[in-house]
Amino acid sequence: MVGCQWGDEGKGKIVDVLAEDVNLVVRYQGGANAGHTVHVGDTEFVLHQIPSGILHPEKRCLLGNGVVIDILEFFKEYDDLYNRGIDLDGRIGVSERAHVLMPHHLILDRISEDEAKYKIGTTGRGIGPAYQEKVSRMGMRVADLYNSKRARSLVEESAQRAQEKIASLGADVEKQFDSDLESTLANSKRLVELATDTGLEIIDAIRGGGRVLLEGAQGTALDLDHGTYPFVTSSNTTAAAAATGSGIGPTEIDTVIGVVKAYTTRVGNGPLPTAFDAAMNEKMRTLGNEFGATTGRPRRCGWFDAVLARYSARVNGLTGLAVTKLDVLDTLSDISIATSYRTPEGIIEEFPANTWDLGDVEPIYETLPGWCEPTNGARTIGDLPAPARQYLDRIEELADTPLRMISVGTRRSQIIMV
């Protein structure tokens, strides 16, 4: 399951529902930058690293090798779930090959952002600096924690490098470093107890006739290669990364569900071609409660962008689409969909690689009638008003992907399976 816009598509809820029919749920990229909000009855859970499958008793959840594990944040989340009565015994595994994100990565993230020419608007969760260390072949992996001497020297070296970089930028955070270092090492013993070979566990589950859900974070337009670079996250968020980030081959994956919101949102910087004007933006932000689950930042909102949806369908090889938050559009009399972009060179139907051009395109819209009645009670596609079905049909057609799920509210029951 992958996000097909700029993240925040409502993936947490879709995972929560799909998790019911699987044995294992696996995160394969990103870190604590994700914020998956799930409602179970009247209780709200916001999960950053642990897959939302954890809210289903008896499901096992894994963090794959492609994830950068924020060790302190991970145990905060773990302990919070435990304190709220979720049984975690034997239910969480972390890849031995996953990299460990340490507190100084968060400091580096914030300082780098302050210094950057183009501000990405990161979540400040240390994602870029942690992946930089991984790609530079200087990172620390969970398997390194087996040897406490080795772990200490890797943590110290990483902290030392961070400190030098921070000092070169004129900042001083020395005191905080020492205590962070010790708490990282203290928590690493706990992490070792959860270490596993995620690829092997997944293959064993599949060979044993089980089902596995690979859960993407962020979205296609934030993918390091396929997104709106440089305004992207530092990992591959798209479906192929589900294989590399969890330790299996691509041939093991038989279904790819792409999640899109019934409109578009974006948090952080970078172009959003279908952005609303200020008044409509404010209205949709309120209707859809569009504030970041991780940072609380207000999200920019816009109409559904079928150019992006079609591109996402292609780069992910989608086999099905899940449309979320349809009910947020219930009160609008007209609803638009961007079908192509007008550029100085002519009309284009493919999502452009040049992010700077994307900021200047003028979307060409098709406008459909709204339905102006509540959809949150619909439980089958037939319960939806005709204009809502027409809207979904058009999304399906433009994205060239069959519709599989529609969400019309925050509760588990408010999902229509198609």
Question: Would you name the residues annotated as active-site residues?
Answer: 8, 36
Q: What is the Cα–Cα distance from 287 to 270, expressed in whole angstroms?
A: 23
Q: Which is nearer to ligand IMP, 16 or 96 (CB)?
A: 16
Q: Which of 3, 8, 11, 20 is nearest to 55 (CA)?
A: 20
CB of 113 to ligand IMP, least distance (A): 9
CB of 369 to ligand IMP, least distance (A): 31
Residues of this chain that interact with ligand IMP (CB under 6 A) are: 6-8, 33-35, 120-123, 125, 127-128, 217-218, 222, 231, 233-234, 267-268
CB proximity list for 299: less than 8 A, separation 6 or greater: 8, 265, 266, 267, 285, 290, 291, 292
Q: Which is nearer to ligand IMP, 151 or 222 (CB)?
A: 222
CB of 107 to ligand IMP, least distance (A): 14
Alpha-helix residue ranges (DSSP H) falling in 169-237: 174-192, 198-207
Contact criterion met (CB below 8 Å) for 274 and 307: no
Contact criterion met (CB below 8 Å) for 31 and 277: no
What b/e sequence results for 29-57 when a residue is b if at least 16 CB atoms lie within 10 Å of its CB, and e otherwise?
A: bbbbbbbbbbbeeeeebebbbbbbbbbbe
CB of 13 to ligand IMP, least distance (A): 14
Token reading at 269: 């910087």
CB of 294 to ligand IMP, least distance (A): 6
Compute φ and ψ for 266, nearest 5 degrees: -150, 135
DSSP assignment of 243-294 equals HHTTT--GGG----EEEEESSEEE-SSS--TTBPPHHHHHHHHHHHT-B-TT
Q: Which is nearer to ligand IMP, 217 or 257 (CB)?
A: 217
Which residue number places its CB atom closest to ligand IMP?
A: 268
Bond preceding residue 250 cis, omega within 30 of 0 = no
Amino acid of residue 180 = D
CB of 70 to ligand IMP, least distance (A): 11
Q: Which is nearer to ligand IMP, 102 or 120 (CB)?
A: 120
Amino acid of residue 9 = E
Amino acid of residue 244 = T
CB of 365 to ligand IMP, least distance (A): 24
CB proximity list for 50: less than 8 A, separation 6 or greater: 27, 61, 63, 74, 77, 78, 81, 92
